[in-house]
Structure 1
């Protein structure tokens, strides 16, 4: 451990606001690295050199031989090693208590700084491990990952879920025991939970803090669970449906999007309808599909008369040749709408980047 110039000068500046004496801090070679007198920085302090060589406090009388260099010089020990010296100019009887206090305060600050660096290193190692964990398809057979897991005292064979939490408050979530957190695309966090209690706590946090949440499967394959959690959140936003929290709820839709079925005739029909009245007919069909073909409920949602709704559905049939009272046709239309919606979102994303 070495005394840093910045920490030493910070200590000197703060202490000199409290006591009416000049303070010098010297490194392990007796060179002044911080002082209330900037002109002395860089010079070798003879009293500090003596304190280091003799491993004891050196009291300098006013006749020591260097003008303005009387006072005390007290070694700073850390991990059984002298790492520097604190010197205070003034009457030894008056400044000695301050020197002892300053040595103690400096030692405590150094211990705190050392602990902070250890925690920072530990956090960096954990983040690196978590990143690898979420990118490994078979973690229980990966020898390097297993070694890292043992170092972090983590059992890879315990099934867990990855949850994607998104929102301004996502970073404020307080982890429980055996939970881990990894920053994702701001403002999102990937959180690994092990228990049902942890899952329920996260869901409650999301509800209370206006966060979106996507929940992956319970598995030892966190790569898959992470992909599912992120995809759930994506589809939740794509479909504008905050009730879709679990991947199982969106899995079928996700696979439809990934397969990209060839439906050229229905795509043409969709585009025809989309060009009329700002896509009014497509908007009507979407509401009709989402409400399971219930005429009354759909009309109420759209704030139109049920006869108007029936007229619009029949109009869509006249234009395209497809009967949208037929669920087979309506479902094909919905699949095309999904592709169209996903393409729009991708285009907006590329334009913003």
Structure 2
């Protein structure tokens, strides 16, 4: 429970309040941490007595010769869940340091409690993340998965939709406290399963057994994404798979991944059922997409004006008038650029088939 790393942290924190020498001792009387490094690992008889008697021990200057490894001061038992787990000692004139005793002990116990519950959160997060990933990959729940589901109080029989929420890339990982706030803020339905996945994703297995409407899911997601942006400055987007029976949950996960690709581009929320062209393009490998760009629009990559014109043409639904106005160019200049695009790519923007080929090239380039 009381490890050397935590003992060192306690000493550092107590040092901020008082300048006296501090020691943290385990229940066997061995000093684990101290402001005086030479005392670490030595035996402290006063701390052992304090641990055994479960009460404060004041050591005067006259008593230092009677107990092994002690100095004058005060020793206080550290309690956690009504058990003594260690001792904190403050060296100095007992009359001077005793008034600090209870404050120091309470602060120490709060640090230990905070550390314990933080470790519990980390353990539960790792267990939940591992369980969900194994569950999504399993065709049928194994006895091991069934047992862990009971421990985690997860119902494996519900229809669910998988949601993947992804954070925009960040320089530093999120702290434990931030993760705790984020995960707790999403849970509204007791049957929803919410877990982190790595440092930049959340996976939600949403209970849709009561025919939850997409608009309701979208409202929840919009509220959640706005919350983490306002609270923690995190920009996030989400892909939502379709509601699936338990045996088909991996399919919903694949749909959420597919929807996330588009959500990542538009920085928004995309439902798989909204996808049309992306159903096909999402299955194409990055290598094939790169080769496709090479065969279609690669000559335009060094021609900024031409590529910009083509992109704008698609934005304006092939309206030449609106494209020219948007680019602030004369219509004749637009015709000249389109002719130049045809010469370089051998694809005619006025041909539906060629135009579609150019469109795919721009989409793949954007990815």
| Fold match by TM threshold 0.5 | yes
Is 2:279 the counterpart of 1:254? yes
Structure 2: distance between partners of 1:88 and 1:335: 77
Shift of 1:29: 1.9
Structure 2: distance between partners of 1:14 and 1:165: 36
Contact 1:176 1:198 in 2 (8 A): no
Structure 2: distance between partners of 1:206 and 1:128: 24
Task: Structure 2: give runs of 5+ residues left out of the alignment.
Answer: 286-291
Structure 1 or 2, whichever has the larger Rg, is 1
Structure 2: distance between partners of 1:23 and 1:324: 78
**What is the TM-score with the length of structure 2 in the denominator?**
0.64
Task: Structure 1: give runs of 5+ residues left out of the alignment.
Answer: 261-266, 347-353
Contact 2:296 2:358 in 1 (8 A): no
Structure 1: distance between partners of 2:296 and 2:321: 27
Contact 1:274 1:282 in 2 (8 A): no
1:1-353 alignment runs, 5 A limit: 1=1, 3-15=2-14, 18-19=17-18, 21-53=20-52, 56-64=55-63, 66=65, 69-79=71-81, 81-90=83-92, 92=94, 95-133=97-135, 135-136=136-137, 138=139, 141-156=141-156, 157-167=158-168, 174-177=185-188, 178=192, 180-183=194-197, 190-194=203-207, 196-203=215-222, 213-220=237-244, 221-235=248-262, 245-255=270-280, 258=283, 271=296, 278=303, 294=319, 296-297=321-322, 300-301=325-326, 330-331=352-353, 333-335=355-357, 337-338=359-360, 342=364, 344=365
Structure 1: distance between partners of 2:282 and 2:203: 23
Distance 1:79 1:227, change over 3 A: same
1:118-176 CA distance string (max 9 Å, x none):
1111111122223334x43646x55444443333333341322414445369x886524
Aligned residues: 329
Distance 1:331 1:103, change over 3 A: same
Structure 1 window deviating more from structure 2 (270-279 vs 173-182): it is 270-279
Alignment RMSD: 4.8
Structure 2: distance between partners of 1:275 and 1:197: 43
Distance 1:80 1:333, change over 3 A: same
Structure 1: distance between partners of 2:341 and 2:253: 41
Secondary structure of 1:245's aligned partner: strand
Contact 1:74 1:86 in 2 (8 A): yes
**What is the TM-score with the length of structure 1 in the denominator?**
0.66
Secondary structure of 2:62's aligned partner: coil
Distance 1:332 1:99, change over 3 A: same
Structure 1: distance between partners of 2:320 and 2:114: 68
Secondary structure of 1:11's aligned partner: helix
